[in-house]
Amino acid sequence: QKEVEQNSGPLSVPEGAIASLNCTYSDRGSQSFFWYRQYSGKSPELIMFIYSNGDKEDGRFTAQLNKASQYVSLLIRDSQPSDSATYLCAVNGLVDNNNDMRFGAGTRLTVKP
C-alpha cells in the first residue's frame, strides 16, 4: 500500500520565521515529488517539484529530498501571512506522467502577523 504521510497541523509560525513542512512516503520506487499549496475553498496549485536527492531552491521556498530516508520537506523562509494555507505533498511513481500520483492529507500552516 503506497502511503504519503504528513502532519495535519496546524503548524503556526510568526511572520518572518522559517516554516518547515515534512512528508514521508512508503514506496521506495517513487520518482518525483511535489508540493502544492491549497488555500481554503480553492484548488491546489504547484509550489515546487523535485526529482533528485538534495535541495532545490525557488525564491523563499526550498524543497529537500532524501530518497534513502523516504523523506521530502518544504522550507518557507521569511514566512508571510499570505503563506497561510494547507500544503499538500504528492509523490509519483513515474516521471513522465501523473497516473501514479499519491497525495498526503496536507499540513495546515498559519503565519501570524
Tell whether residue 68 is a contact of another protein (CB under 8 A): no
Min separation Cβ 43 and another protein, Å:
4
Picking from 76, 104, 112, 90, the residue whose alpha carbon sits closest to that of residue 7 is: 104
Using the rule CB under 8 A, which residue among 28, 29, 82, 96 binds another protein?
96
Q: What is d(CA 112, CA 72) in angstroms, rounded to the nearest whole number?
A: 25
69 vs 97 by CB, closer to another protein: 97
Tell whether residue 40 is a contact of another protein (CB under 8 A): no
**Cβ-based neighbours of 21, under 8 Å, separated by 6 or more:** 6, 11, 35, 73, 74, 75, 76, 87, 89, 107, 109
Rounded (5°) CA angle 79-83-89: 105
HSE-CB for 27 with a 13 A CA cutoff: 18
Tell whether residue 44 is a contact of another protein (CB under 8 A): yes
Min separation Cβ 69 and another protein, Å:
21
18 vs 105 by CB, closer to another protein: 105
The residues that touch another protein, with contacts defined as CB under 8 A, are: 4, 8, 32, 34, 36, 42-46, 49, 88, 90, 92, 95-99, 101, 103-106
